[in-house]
Chain A
């Protein structure tokens, strides 16, 4: 199922022999010689035990971190050597990041948090807040727009974080355990949103510990100790 559509254009994300090493006393190989290609519009899940390098992988694609070796390309552009300013552009326009730990601004309301990425894209205030409210509606938080993160439950914060990742309408969505802190019902709702995004043509890279969640993707990348242990194609009928 992969490959035929995307062969003409560069892949959405391409990692070529990427390593990320931390040298604090004993060197830690968070990622070790990883090569991976995500076609446009593909839906990939990353699984692996704690500390296997899943978040590190997402940080590299999201231009938050730089590889110690190898190249990371987003939409055909090598982001590992980009200037700071260009990296900020990739973070603001190309990718939407849902963090494992939400990372919401404590002093801003839900709608202001969601609108924040648009502030840095020079979108007018009225339009920003309108789009933010629209997205909060879509994640089922239309009645919580004026709440601060401290006034929201964990699952609600997670949904605000997802709304914020989607507000710039990014081609690539990076989600680090978006269902890790929520009940099954909310989890189902979040996964439904990701399905919708996939159906709309967005490229999705999702980290999860739950096999059932991973099965909704097209492929599952299994990480262990910073290396790719294997890539499983999910049975198309089973996933649909």
Chain B
């Protein structure tokens, strides 16, 4: 029997039971849609995150203290363990150009004149952060390390400036309400040219950011080495003088962190204090995203399995119902192979039909998820193709036994079947 005719006959028998066929294919539709949704989301997250890291210069080593396994998010949970002493020591290492500590100051609000904006945190860092960064207006604040009075200055990102009516601009005076209702009055000295996160560890996207010098930072600890009270930071970026030396700098810093550092002594027992390069972090993020995608895909595979069982079940019912038709076809010359082909094609149509319906639903689901997460959409096209393949395989696998049992029907018994 030619393929076109078996397709025509199979399609006709599906059309004879439209609702039943639709319900049967639903399992496949859901399975495929779930796979596409989550694979799209995973691919989009990966493309966005990895892309950001690829943009950041290769000569950086990021220091973080995170829960002691490689599964957690790379920086969000980092503990404040790096003291001023550590920052100073690392700054003297061979091949290190500069060291930029970074921490957050808890706040409740920022106000300019009568206009108040609620913010729960501002960032404390050193002007070294801004060395290779362009400003739309003004520049970095003064260095606070020389022990002079703390400079009452602030740099902001464009989106932070836009939080105030008519934008913040250089020269504006802003008062910051800190923890315990203390207020700090600062002058805006610079507005950055764009919103990109200056440090991947601080997260991405165009979150509004306010930067203050580290002398405004208020998380302190007694350094185990020096015995003095000093600032302690959750994140530190070490910038190598030469990108080629990044790996060497990373090794040197990691050695120091493991042995003499304050960080090693301050970190809670289960925490890991580590120096990571862009590559390390990209790899970790990819691992996390991949594992998540695998997990969700596993669930989707179960859904496909359920769909396959549904198709097999309906096909068995269909073989039973059409016993007489099978007998007629055999009586007029159909071989076992013809009958097998006919039922297999029908199962295949259900599987592929489900997949074809599932793909647009999955793409739509992925789009919604990605839009909600404010990520650019990355469509894993391979998977869209693979989905159709999966539908095909599911159809064949689930149709195999019913088709085989149809092929084995004895014509004389089948003709007597009422």
List chain A positions with a Cβ less than 8 A from chain B: 59, 62, 64-65, 84-85, 88-89, 91-93, 97, 99, 101, 103-107, 116-117, 119-122, 125, 164, 168
Contacts and interface: CB of A to CB of B under 8 A. Distances in A.
17 contacts: A62-B331, A85-B336, A88-B330, A88-B336, A91-B330, A91-B411, A93-B333, A97-B332, A101-B415, A105-B328, A116-B329, A117-B333, A119-B5, A122-B1, A125-B4, A125-B5, A168-B333
A89 B333 contact: yes
A88 B334 contact: yes
A122 B335 CA distance: 12
B13 A120 contact: no
Nearest to A93: B333
A99 B324 CA distance: 13
Interface of B, helix, strand, loop or mixed by DSSP: helix
Contacts of A85: 335-337
A92 B333 contact: yes
A104 B327 CA distance: 10
B325 A120 contact: no
Given A107-B13, A107-B16, A125-B4, A120 B412 contact: no
B333 A64 contact: no
A106 B321 CA distance: 12
Contacts of A59: 412
Interface in B330-373: 330-338
A170 to B, nearest CB: 10
Interface in B1-49: 1-2, 4-5, 12-13, 16
Given A105-B325, A125-B5, A65 B330 contact: no
Contact of B332 (A107, A120, A122): A120
A91 B333 contact: yes
Contacts of B331: 62, 64, 91, 97, 99, 103
A123 to B, nearest CB: 9
B410 to A, nearest CB: 9
A60 B5 CA distance: 30
Nearest to A123: B2
Contacts of B333: 88-89, 91-93, 117, 120-121, 168
Given A103-B331, A107-B16, A120-B329, 20 more contacts: A64-B412, A64-B415, A65-B412, A88-B335, A91-B411, A97-B331, A97-B332, A101-B415, A103-B324, A103-B327, A103-B328, A103-B415, A105-B329, A106-B325, A119-B2, A120-B1, A120-B332, A120-B335, A120-B338, A125-B4
Nearest to B324: A103
B417 to A, nearest CB: 11
Contacts of B335: 84-85, 88-89, 120
A106 to B, nearest CB: 8
Nearest to A91: B333
A104 B325 CA distance: 8
The 10 A-B pairs with the shortest beta carbon distances in the complex, nearest first, are A92-B333, A117-B332, A88-B335, A120-B333, A64-B412, A65-B412, A120-B334, A103-B328, A91-B333, A64-B411
Nearest to A85: B335
Given A91-B332, A105-B328, A164-B332, A119 B1 contact: yes
A104 B328 contact: yes
Nearest to A106: B325
A92 B16 CA distance: 27
Contacts of A64: 331, 411-412, 415
B128 to A, nearest CB: 79
